[in-house]
Amino acid sequence: MAQTRAIVITGNGTNCEMEAAHACRLGGFDEAVIAHIAEILSGEIRLDDFHFLNLTGGFLDGDDLGSAKAQANRLKHASVAGSGEKLVEQFTRFISSGKLILGVCNGFQLMVKMGMLPAFDGDYLNQSVTLTHNDCGRFQDRWTYLKVDPDSPSVFTKGIAKGIYLPMRHGEGKFLCDSDATLQRIEREHLAVFKYSDADYAAPTMEFPANPNGAQNAIAGICDQTGCLMGLMPHPEAFVHYTQHPRWTREQLPEEGEGLIMFKNAAEYVRKNLV
């Protein structure tokens, strides 16, 4: 059987690549490659050779021009050395092949600013939503309860019953749409995969600090209509083992952290559909 391969892009300010690659391996991928963006632009590494792309957290280009905006411009317009191909062509080919992309925190910011989410009607290159400065006016580092939409098409959330508890750390995590029509369509098509909620996952909340950034409709993460692309502000790769939980010395917890299920779902999908 062919190997299941994940790629984690690093460089220009990312800082979660090792955690993401570790989560991919724990989740069941045969191989998880950490690749600097320069290796992809040089043609040494091609996205075509992988099944699951991870865009990780960090501070791309120091968040100049706004979080991930400079990298979004770079990826949409840069050429791959010696090939005559635009890098964005590899991204669009990756998506059209039904492969998986997960953007976390800075990676989510990158996806929305490239236009890869929510990407209505297969339009993956036009931006319609953004992630901007937290309402509180400062960086937040805390754990959040995320209510899952059971009707979401997301590949990554299979088996999550009510919600999930994950850490977040960001200064620009407030989700905003360019219009009421965009927001209504996201809600109508169940693309708002995760919403900040109370500890019982009973209902989304706009109350700080449970909603740490003031996100519109409490949205913490969205997917595209296929469910193969998803982005979220909290960090699933930062809770794959119980010792990462803030109360692990005081509570009896399962060995697997709650974030690992997303990577297990990704690996299962790839084995069943792509190799």
Q: Is 105 a catalytic residue?
A: yes
Instruction: Give the CATH number, domain containing residue 238.
Output: 3.40.50.880
Q: Which domain holds residue 182?
A: 5-273
Q: Is 172 a catalytic residue?
A: no
- The answer to whether residues 201 and 160 touch, using CB atoms and an 8 Å cutoff, is no
Instruction: Point out the catalytic residue in the list 16, 24, 105, 177.
Output: 105
Which residue in the block uniquely carries the two structure tokens 């036009």? 126
Between 260-273 and 17-27, two packed helices, what is the crossing angle to 10 degrees? 60
Instruction: Point out the catalytic residue in the list 228, 235, 245, 258.
Output: 235
The reported pLDDT for the residue numbered 81 is 94
Q: Which helix (H) or strand (E) holds 8?
A: strand 5-10
CA distance 114 to 200: 34
Q: How many domains does the chain have?
A: 1
The reported pLDDT for the residue numbered 48 is 97
Sign of the Cα pseudo-torsion (269, 118, 257, 53, in order): positive
Instruction: Point out the catalytic residue in the list 17, 19, 172, 237.
Output: 237
CA distance 141 to 37: 27
Q: What angle do CA 107, 253, 246 make, to 5 degrees?
A: 55
Structure tokens at 193: 């995969």
The reported pLDDT for the residue numbered 1 is 65
CA distance 114 to 55: 12
**pLDDT averages per 10-residue partition of the chain, 275 residues:** 93 96 98 97 97 97 90 93 93 98 98 98 97 97 98 98 97 98 98 98 98 98 98 98 97 97 98 96
CA distance 69 to 89: 19
The reported pLDDT for the residue numbered 266 is 98
Amino acid at site 172: E
Closest to 224 (Cα-Cα) out of 83, 70, 133, 102: 102
Q: How many CB atoms lie within 10 A of CB 83?
A: 13
